[in-house]
Structure 1
Amino acid sequence: MRRWIIAVIVELGVIVLALAGAGLSWRSGIHVTDFAPFGDSPGFAAIRYLAPWLLLAAVLVTVAGVFAVDATARLVDGLRGPAETGR
Structure 2
Amino acid sequence: MNRSFVVPAADLAAAILALALAVLCWQLGVRNTDFPPTGEVPAYTATRYVAPWLFLATVLVAGAGAAVIDAAVRVVRRA
TM range (shorter): over 0.9
Q: Distance in 2 between matches of 1:13 and 1:43?
A: 44
Name the residue aligned to 2:20.
Answer: 20
Larger Rg belongs to: 1
Name the residue aligned to 1:67.
Answer: 67
Q: Distance in 1 between matches of 2:39 and 2:73?
A: 62
Q: Distance in 2 between matches of 1:2 and 1:74?
A: 13
Name the residue aligned to 1:57.
Answer: 57
Q: Distance in 1 between matches of 2:50 and 2:31?
A: 8
Which amino acid counterpart does residue 34 of structure 1 have in structure 2?
D
**TM-score of the superposed pair, with normalisation by structure 2:** 0.95
User: Deviation digits for residues 28-78 of structure 1, max 9, x if unmatched?
Assistant: 001000111111001110011110000000000000000010001111122
Deviation beyond 4 Å, 4+ runs, structure 1: none
Q: Distance in 1 between matches of 2:4 and 2:23?
A: 28
Q: How many residues align?
A: 79
Q: Distance in 1 between matches of 2:16 and 2:25?
A: 14
Q: Percent identity?
A: 44
Kindly report the root-mean-square deviation, in angstroms, between the aligned alpha carbons of the 2 structures: 0.8
Q: How big is the shift at 1:16?
A: 0.7
